[in-house]
Amino acid sequence: MAGNFELQGRHGKSRVRVSRVWRRPAAAGGHVIVEWSVAVSVVSDCLPSYTSSDNSAIVATDSIKNTVYVKAKECTEVVSMEEFAVILGRHFTSLYPQVSEATVTIVERPWERVVVDGKPHSHGFKVGVEKHSTEVIVKKSGSLLINSGIQGYSLLKTTQSGFEGFVTDRYRLLPDTRERIVATEVTAWWRYPFEHVSQLLSKPFCFTQRYQDVKKVLSETFFGPPDVGVYSPSVQNTLYLMAKEVLTRFPDISSIQLRMPNLHFLPVNLGSKENPLVKVVAASDHCCGHFGYKRKTPYMSHVSLLYGDLTDEEEARKKVEELDKDIYGLEFEISELALYRTD
């Protein structure tokens, strides 16, 4: 307490970039490399540093950073990011009497082993896309909470997806469809059931393998069998089935959260004999020729009619996004066209 105020001090260090190489012989699987972005946040009893400028109980953020490097060096055997987070959490809560809790968050840069002539390379790697992440909370009592996840896992199907029967009112423009491209970028977080550090010490758990297992189940449920696929009536239904399959397959995962925003692939009307769009483009070319105006880029009727001519398509898209991102999907009939020469 400070006067009539109840204070809790929390501080830490984020964006600590650490890489560790374990140099195993080719016969044992070759070298292993990890690159992690580590954040450490500690809850500590350092009230005087706030109320009376006494910093004697503060573990400096520079010390936290150095600890991450030292503990990575001390890991002579390959460890998962979850295990490393537990190591850090136990260190801070056991070494410093004033620290009651440590939260360690790690995001991994996905270095993947390359394959040369059909054979895994012993020490060659390339950067992947989706990222493995974890958040571990360790308390001085040994209480433990482990969440792991995946970020930026992009999935797409070119068919076997639809969306129909949703709310119809005066705001609806989107038609029903049973045939569309569906794409999303999956962010998933799941919780392991471990509640105390002693559970990991008595029975080691392979977190990295479980991460690969979950990623595989998520994609298999999204896509369905390779020859026929599986129909998705909505992203919501697919999300539910993916989460349900993970919990069904892995009893050691107690809960899971999924975020799957739509990545839209909207049809573009390029016109036909029955569509006046072709005539609009032809009329534009004719009028430009009449006035002696030379375009730098091809005519973009779906953009230019909204805000006039700009330099190029990228500039045009920027302007449209400033107005309304949903404007890409609009279609309208042109009833009147007026051209003016201003220079």
**What is the set of active-site residues?**
13, 61, 264
Please name which of 93, 85, 96 lies closest in space to residue 145, comparing C-alpha atoms. Answer: 85
277: which 2 tokens? 């769009």
* Separation of alpha carbons 132 and 247, rounded Å: 19
The amino acid occupying position 270 is L
- CA dihedral of residues 207, 213, 217, 219 (deg, nearest 10): 100
**Contact in structure between 132 and 110 (CB atoms under 8 Å):** yes
Q: Measure the CA–CA gap between 108 and 132, rounded to whole angstroms.
A: 5
